[in-house]
Amino acid sequence: MRHDARRALALCVGLFVAASTTAGQLSRADIARRISPPLVVGEKPADTPAWPISSELTPDAGPVGWVFESIDLAPIPGFEGTPYNLLIQIDTTGQLLDVELLRQHEPVFLSGLGEAPLRDFLAQYAGLNLSQSITVSTAYSDRSNTRQSQSDRVVLDGVTKATASVRIANQTVLTAALAVARAQLGFAGPAQHTPPAEVREDRFEVRSFAQLLADGSIARLRLTHADVEALFAGTDGAGLDSSDASPDALVTELYVAYLNAPTLGRAILGDAGYTHLRGFLEPGQHAWWVATAGPDSLIDTHFVRGTSPERLSLQQHGTPFELRDFDTAPAPPPGAPALNAALVLRTSPLSGLDPAAEQTFELSFTRQRGQILPQRIHRSATLAYTPPADYFRLPPAPLPEWLIAWRERVVELSTIGLALLMLSIALTRPRWLSRSARRLRIFRLGFLAFTLIYIGWIAQGQLSIVQITGAIKTLAAGHALTSFLYDPVSLLIMAFTLLSFFIWGRGSFCGWLCPFGALQEFAAELGARLGLRARRLPPRVALALDRGRYGILLALVLSAALAPAMAERLVEVEPFKTAITVGFDRAWPFVLYALGLLALGAVYYKFFCRYLCPLGAAMVIGGKLRVLDWLPRRAECGQPCQTCRHRCAYDAIDRNGSIRYNDCFQCLDCVGIYHDEARCAPLLLYRRKGRRVGTIKSS
């Protein structure tokens, strides 16, 4: 029972956390306070979590725009694991009117850079249209392309040191806004993953009606009485055909042709008619010639020009598109059969329909049963139409936002990749490098300088406990860890670190790839140059602090799962954001804390890394995956030789000479001593006595 109660409590807490991070926070009254008369806020429709905005001046005209919270439509986990919540306004043409920040939990904008850069970033969306391709520039991409004036592509200014965070914000804005646009404005449905095809204006040849019909440029649907009867089979409308015609007699022939293509448009409308049509079509708007022949007509005497024909509808990828009459009566094209009706129909300008993809036209039929309170039965026949591909130019599919981030940072990724290869060689074959203490010192300090300056301050590749707590929050909310893809440098280092766990343990990251760890090492170097005597904590104190790291890690993990707001404060135990991410450009309490830790590190070697770092505690746990004891030891190590133990600044060597890999930062000092006849006491002694060196033992 107690176990079941604990499970129930955990489930309730999890649901509360998930609900608190994915529910909108504004009421209708809150929205009303944000708009001015004559605009008024309506009730949310049942199918879309968005408020319609209408005008008191035109109450019957329908909404003039929509306002919605992004978290109701696009709860995309941020870098820290919690989604943004943005208030987004769009009008009926798909134009973004405003994007307001309601809530965010990105570490870099929480007392780091502050929210001002994020608000400046969001202000760039005003005036953009959802029909445009909107991407984000970074400090790593071509700044000359920023905020391009091209009508179909816009590149927004990014925020330095917040590359991943602003890309996630961009995905949030576009995903939420497009969801409302698809539901309420008739934009293309979610099945469309590539930009619509573009009509080739240079593609024209004179073709007859019969030729266009033969190659599929004009689609035809022929329906007989038997075909229509089959539509009503099994319904109350079956058998209600009052005609005496034979089953094979024609009911109607439906013709459809895509008019934007010059070959088709000129053949159907003539040169003057085609020029007239194109003069009225707006960018992104499509038009079709639709006609019927035979006894049954597409329209009747009640049809009003400029409206939508009741019997005809269009869908693509399951999304309906409104067809509206162009208010013109086209003459029958040469070679066409005798027609009883012909219309030029067009979509809205921002429909998002792809003219090169299959379009499904539906022609409806209605039968009536009974005289008093008659029952009407409706059925539709479908015509699938795909214009020939050579009428179009197919634009390349847009790259996903995360892949753009990877392409823009190819220089950083390549540079760091080469550095990781060099480090792997040094750790795998360390003998030549480490035998000379001077050579090892030059290499180590040079690599740590690269880690601090390039990986940390320039490429922003500092791994953090926030990535662990953020992953926990994201998974607890039922989302995938896709936010990691937006930070390719960190992901590369993360992947290398995970792989290194199996080979070297935790030390490859903590000893070589942590920018703040490198900064601490330089603090120790500065302390030595200033004449500060290096000190060591009493063993009991050191042990208590070492174990305390795991308590900090546990507290962070539990708070991330159960109390996310508390986790945001607790992660400040790490000084990484202060010292590395924003380069000490932060409020003075945070800067003072980071400098205090560095001052302690100048006296107590790598104090934060060894005694406080929760990420280091997680690295120790990951390091237990190590399959090899790769640091060589001799039988004489520890019995009686204590050289390596006394010189190990990390206190990672026991009295018996064995290596404690949980505490080892892989500085290679002991490897150099092991191979150096001038520093290794057993080698020096046996060489003098002419005896063999003792056997190697496992550590």
Cα–Cα nearest to 698, from 625, 637, 639, 610: 637
Please give the average per-residue pLDDT across 192-210, as a whole number.
85
Alpha helices, DSSP H only, in 372-485? Answer: 401-408, 410-428, 431-435, 437-450, 465-476
**How far is Cα 698 from Cα 632, in angstroms, rounded to an integer?**
7
> C-alpha distances in angstroms, 396 versus 260, 389, 651?
21, 15, 58
> C-alpha distances in angstroms, 642 versus 543, 630, 648?
21, 19, 10
Q: What is the pLDDT of residues 164-194, one digit of tens each?
A: 888 889 989 988 998 898 888 866 544 445 6
DSSP-assigned letters across all residues of 633-664: EETTBTTTB-HHHHH-TT--B-TTS-B-TTT-
Phi-psi region of 281 (alpha: psi -120 to 50; beta: other; left: phi over 0): beta
Please give the average per-residue pLDDT across 95-106, as a whole number.
93
pLDDT of residue 340: 94
pLDDT exceeds cutoff 60 at 551: yes
**How far is Cα 258 from Cα 357, in angstroms, rounded to an integer?**
12
The answer for residues whose C-beta is within 8 angstroms of residue 257's C-beta and 6 or more apart is 212, 217, 218, 219, 264, 268, 288, 289
pLDDT exceeds cutoff 50 at 302: yes
Please give the average per-residue pLDDT across 603-619, as a whole number.
95
pLDDT of residue 193: 53
Of residues 503 and 147, more confidently modeled:
503
pLDDT exceeds cutoff 70 at 151: no
pLDDT of residue 328: 80
Q: Mean pLDDT check: name the lowest of 21-30, 570-579, 651-660.
A: 21-30
- Spacing of C-alpha 233 from chain mean position: 48
- Spacing of C-alpha 14 from chain mean position: 24
Contact 676, 435 (CB under 8 A): yes
**How far is Cα 593 from Cα 360, in angstroms, rounded to an integer?**
65
pLDDT of residue 584: 93
Q: How many CB atoms lie within 10 A of CB 579?
A: 26
pLDDT of residue 442: 96
**How far is Cα 200 from Cα 596, in angstroms, rounded to an integer?**
66
pLDDT of residue 591: 95
The size of the chain, in residues, is 699
> C-alpha distances in angstroms, 122 versus 99, 118, 128, 482, 532?
6, 6, 11, 22, 49
Alpha helices, DSSP H only, in 330-436? Answer: 401-408, 410-428, 431-435
Contact 355, 260 (CB under 8 A): yes
Of residues 160 and 83, more confidently modeled:
83
Contacts for 542-548: CB closer than 8 Å, 24+ residues apart: 542/610, 542/611, 542/651, 545/610, 545/611, 545/612, 546/610, 546/611, 546/663, 548/611, 548/612
- pTM score > 0.75 for this model? no
The strand order across the sheet containing 312-316 reads: 319-321, 312-316, 359-369, 375-385
Of residues 74 and 494, more confidently modeled:
494
Helix (H, G, I), strand (E, B) or coil at 89: strand
36 exposed, middle or buried (CB, 10 Å; 0-12, 13-18, 19+)? Answer: exposed
Cα–Cα nearest to 88, from 131, 45, 130: 130
Please give the average per-residue pLDDT across 465-481, as a whole number.
87
Q: Mean pLDDT check: name the lowest of 95-99, 110-114, 486-490, 515-519.
A: 110-114
**How far is Cα 197 from Cα 154, in angstroms, rounded to an integer?**
19
Q: Mean pLDDT check: name the lowest of 82-86, 309-313, 317-321, 694-698.
A: 694-698
Please give the average per-residue pLDDT across 382-403, as a whole number.
88
Band of pLDDT at residue 138, cut at 50, 70 and 90: low
pLDDT of residue 126: 94
pLDDT exceeds cutoff 90 at 292: yes
pLDDT of residue 136: 83
Pair of tokens at residue 403: 């892949």
The answer for residues whose C-beta is within 8 angstroms of residue 202's C-beta and 6 or more apart is none
Q: How many CB atoms lie within 10 A of CB 674?
A: 24
pLDDT of residue 10: 40
Band of pLDDT at residue 22, cut at 50, 70 and 90: low
Helix (H, G, I), strand (E, B) or coil at 325: strand
pLDDT exceeds cutoff 50 at 8: no
Band of pLDDT at residue 527, cut at 50, 70 and 90: very high
pLDDT of residue 20: 41
Contact 464, 619 (CB under 8 A): no
Q: Which of 73-82, 342-351, 374-383 has the highest mean pLDDT?
A: 374-383
pLDDT of residue 693: 53
What is the average pLDDT value for the chain, to the nearest integer? 86
Q: Mean pLDDT check: name the lowest of 53-57, 142-146, 644-648.
A: 142-146
Of residues 63 and 284, more confidently modeled:
63
pLDDT of residue 6: 41
pLDDT of residue 189: 47
pLDDT of residue 162: 83
pLDDT exceeds cutoff 70 at 695: no
The angle that helices 539-562 and 2-22 make with each other, rounded to 10 degrees, is 70
Buried b (16+ CB within 10 A) or exposed e, 272-297: ebbeebbeebeebebbbbbbbbbebb
> C-alpha distances in angstroms, 610 versus 283, 509, 596?
62, 13, 15
pLDDT exceeds cutoff 80 at 256: yes
Please give the average per-residue pLDDT across 546-570, as a whole number.
90
Buried b (16+ CB within 10 A) or exposed e, 309-328: bebbbbbbbebebebebbee
**Percentage of the chain surpassing pLDDT 70?**
91
pLDDT exceeds cutoff 90 at 557: yes
pLDDT of residue 1: 38
Instruction: Give all strands (DSSP E) within 347-408, no chain letters.
Output: 359-369, 375-385, 392-393
pLDDT exceeds cutoff 70 at 293: yes
pLDDT of residue 691: 60
Q: How many CB atoms lie within 10 A of CB 412?
A: 19
CA-atom Rg of the chain in angstroms: 35
Phi and psi at 18, nearest 5°, equal: -60, -40
Contact 578, 591 (CB under 8 A): yes
pLDDT of residue 445: 96
